[in-house]
């Protein structure tokens, strides 16, 4: 255990990765639409093949720390049997995925080798959130 607890200020944003396959893609599409109707988030592209550390087809939902307390419980209730990986975005993507992630549904083996241990050291910008949804049902969550 570190001698000094880390601050929540280390977390710039979060990702939820919604995993799907051919049989569950329609459910994933419905979940994606429901998310967009309710939350101001950045929805990533459909990734129909494994991408980066993710072993399955998935789409990404980037969101601010302010949304964690509503978006994550909403996903718990509405993920429709889909596996969802939620991880913080700090300076260390490797730890964010390997150590700090939470899973809804069965955990999947991630490919961690390509993930940097410091974005700053790698000269990479931190992950941000550029919301691209226009929620109109936010009052129903």
Which residues lie near Zn ion (CB under 5 A)? 15
**What's the CA gap between 52 and 42, in Å, rounded?**
18
Nearest distance in Å: CB 89, Zn ion: 7
Residue keyed to tokens 């995925």: 97
Q: By the 8 A CB rule, do 48 and 104 touch?
A: no
5 or 114: whose CB is closer to Zn ion?
114
Which C-beta is closer to Zn ion: that of 15 or that of 38?
A: 15
Q: What is the DSSP string of 20-56?
A: E-GGGHHHHHHHHHHHHHH---EEPPPB-S--TT-SS
Shortest Cβ 17–Zn ion spacing (Å): 6
Closer CB to Zn ion, 5 or 67, in the complex: 67
Cβ of residue 54: shortest distance to Zn ion, in angstroms?
8
């Amino acid at each position: 255990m570190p001698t000094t607890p880390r601050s929540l200020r280390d977390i710039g944003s979060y990702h939820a990765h919604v995993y799907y396959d051919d049989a569950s893609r329609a459910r994933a599409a419905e979940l994606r639409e429901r998310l967009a109707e309710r939350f101001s988030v950045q929805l990533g592209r459909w990734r129909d093949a494994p991408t980066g550390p993710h072993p399955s087809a998935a789409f990404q939902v980037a969101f601010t720390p302010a949304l964690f307390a509503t978006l994550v419980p909403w996903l718990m209730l509405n993920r429709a049997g889909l596996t969802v990986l939620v991880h913080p975005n700090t300076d260390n993507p490797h730890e964010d995925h390997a150590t700090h992630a939470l899973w809804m549904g069965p955990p999947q083996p991630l490919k961690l080798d390509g993930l940097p241990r410091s974005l700053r050291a790698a000269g990479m910008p931190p992950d941000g959130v550029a919301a691209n949804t226009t929620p109109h049902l936010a009052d129903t969550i």
